[in-house]
Amino acid sequence: MCGNDHPGYVFTDVYGLDEDLLEMVPQPVLAVLMLFPITEQYEEYRRMETATIRKDGQTVTHKLYFTKQTIPNACGTIGLLHALANNMDSLAIKYGPLKRIYDQTANMTPEYRARELERDSELAKLHDNSSLAGQTAAPNRDEEVDLHFVCFVEKEGHIYELDGRKPFPINHGAATNLLADVAEIVRNFIDREPDSLSFSLVALVPEDVEEED
């Protein structure tokens, strides 16, 4: 999906939220993707969160890349796009589908970005191919699923949750360390769903390349 002259970042599993497990993750972390269950409790929380932000407002930097998700069952692809598009400089992406999509949509609103992504045949092909490459059978585009991906990034000193199902990014406050800050946010997600085991995290980190003799 992306092309650069020196690919040096990969996604790695985050095996837990305990401090010793977080310390195993290479730094710096550029983005974190979370898979979590969509439940009645979560949907109620999401509605309350949206209403509160619409009433009280929040600060969102204009440098943040955010798109709505209108393609069914494409939350993983949208999460990946959010992770990469908000780290274009660090990833040094100079060509490829992601660079083209980013350049075409950078100055659009989240709604217009979503429309452009719907029409992008190359993105649709990449989404289908990545789904087919998974270890388990991927759902059809119109099939209802109860798991969802969101992305967390740091921008202009704040932690943002990027979820294409929501009307806007969520500012979770000042950043200290992206992974540690996200771990605290994820604990809140888990506390709302204490009986669920359907949580997992991956982080975008520097690739561990061993030097040759």
Catalytic residues: 75, 148
Task: Provide CB contacts within 8 A for 154, sequence distance 6+.
Answer: 160, 175, 178, 181
CA distance 106 to 103: 5
- 122-129 contacts at long range (C-beta below 8 A, 24 or more positions apart): 122/97, 123/77, 123/97, 124/71, 126/1, 126/77, 126/97, 127/71, 127/74, 127/77
Burial of 173 (0-12, 13-18, 19+ CB in 10 A): middle
